[in-house]
Amino acid sequence: MNKRQNYSRKREAILDTLRSTKTHPTAEWVYLQLKSQYPDLSLGTVYRNLSQFKEDGTIVSLGVVNGQEHFDGDISPHSHFICSHCGSVLDVPNDPNLSIMFKRTSQALDAQIESCHILFRGICSDCMKKQ
Amino acid sequence: MNKRQNYSRKREAILDTLRSTKTHPTAEWVYLQLKSQYPDLSLGTVYRNLSQFKEDGTIVSLGVVNGQEHFDGDISPHSHFICSHCGSVLDVPNDPNLSIMFKRTSQALDAQIESCHILFRGICSDCMKKQ
DNA sequence: CTCCGTGCAAATACTTTGCAAAGCG
DNA sequence: CGCTTTGCAAAGTATTTGCACGGAG
């Protein structure tokens, strides 16, 4: 039903870039990565495609940190840790208890929960060593 | 040590407004609430004070939803549920399992975790009824 | 009197949008 | 050829900042 999508080399490149990094980039970062390879790429295109991917569920948004939206090409359920010192974002595998919490919360609120995102904040081991 | 702060009726009003609501307002909402009582209140002032409260740890930011930052005057540890239909934000008491997860994650990452924020997304019971 | 807090308007920063041209099928 | 995607630039939106003035201590 949503087969109305042409092939586009640039769209593919955007998705590839997002999937081939372990970081959790912003639209601008993706743009800068691709700019050298596709000199006529426009920032608007990156935004447009990222929004569409997000809508399609092909990628996931981590939300806005410091005014910029961060994306994650890895859509397997996992959580994130943000170092409040260096600002880096790390992946955290989901705890098995989560599904229990999930169900419990759903009942408590009488709501239909679709997803759950955990955000830890603290100091990463690298920054701890440096101090 | 940071006692260089004068009294300000407006600052107090902003904090009061934030604390006396169960919602999780944006800067603009706070501004609109106070505008009738303080007609010469400026939006910049609200932003300035909210940022300062956030920095002081007097209030907490829930992050940006739909391009607007939401604040919470309740700094006790609890989580949130966002209805992806109507956009409302509900409080969720923290699950007892959380502290276990907390510790486990801390060990897995070898990091020092300071805080943890869980964000559920789904459809709230009100919106479910309406459909 | 000396700083702090504020209004106001201008400036930023990020993101979205309109439109004509180029591309896919 | 009909529909999709793109570049470009202009428009939006939320937030921050500079500056001069009124108020607190």
Nucleotide nearest to B28 (CA to C1'): D14
A15-19, B83-87, B112-116: range with lowest mean pLDDT: B83-87
> Is the distance from CB of A24 to CB of A71 less than 8 angstroms?
yes
Which residue, among A67, A84, A86, has the nearest Cα to A119 in the 3D structure? A84
> Is the distance from CB of B84 to CB of B121 less than 8 angstroms?
yes
DSSP letter, residue A15? H
Strands A78-83, A112-123: pairing is parallel
Strand locations in chain A (E)? 60-65, 68-72, 78-83, 89-93, 112-123
> Scanning the structure block, which residue is given the tokens 């501004």?
B31
Query: Does strand C come within 7 Å of the CB of B97?
Result: no
> Is the distance from CB of B13 to CB of B39 less than 8 angstroms?
no
The answer, yes or no, to whether residue A59 has pLDDT greater than 90, is: yes
Q: What pLDDT band is residue B54 in, cutting at 50, 70 and 90?
A: very high
A35-39, A81-85, B24-28: range with lowest mean pLDDT: A81-85
pLDDT, position B46: 98
Average pLDDT over residues B75-103: 86
Q: What pLDDT band is residue A4 in, cutting at 50, 70 and 90?
A: low
Residue B116 host element (H or E): strand B112-123
Query: Which range in A46-50, B61-65, B82-86, B126-130 is most confidently predicted, on average pLDDT?
Result: A46-50
Nucleotide nearest to A67 (CA to C1'): C14
> Scanning the structure block, which residue is given the tokens 């990452």?
B109
Q: How close A37 comes to chain B (CA, Å)? A: 31
Interface touch A109/B125, C-beta < 8 Å: yes
Average pLDDT over residues B87-110: 86
Exposed/middle/buried for B71, CB within 10 Å: 0-12, 13-18, 19+? Answer: buried
Mutate to test the interface with A, among B84, B105, B115 (most CBs of A within 10 A): B105
Mean pLDDT of the residues in chain B: 90
| Tokens linked to B48 | 């300035």
Residues on chain B touching A100 (C-beta within 8 angstroms): 97
SS3 A24: coil
pTM of the model: 0.87
Residues on chain A touching B26 (C-beta within 8 angstroms): none
> Is the distance from CB of B124 to CB of B85 less than 8 angstroms?
yes
Cα–Cα distance measured from residue A84 to residue A86, given in angstroms and rounded to the nearest whole number: 6
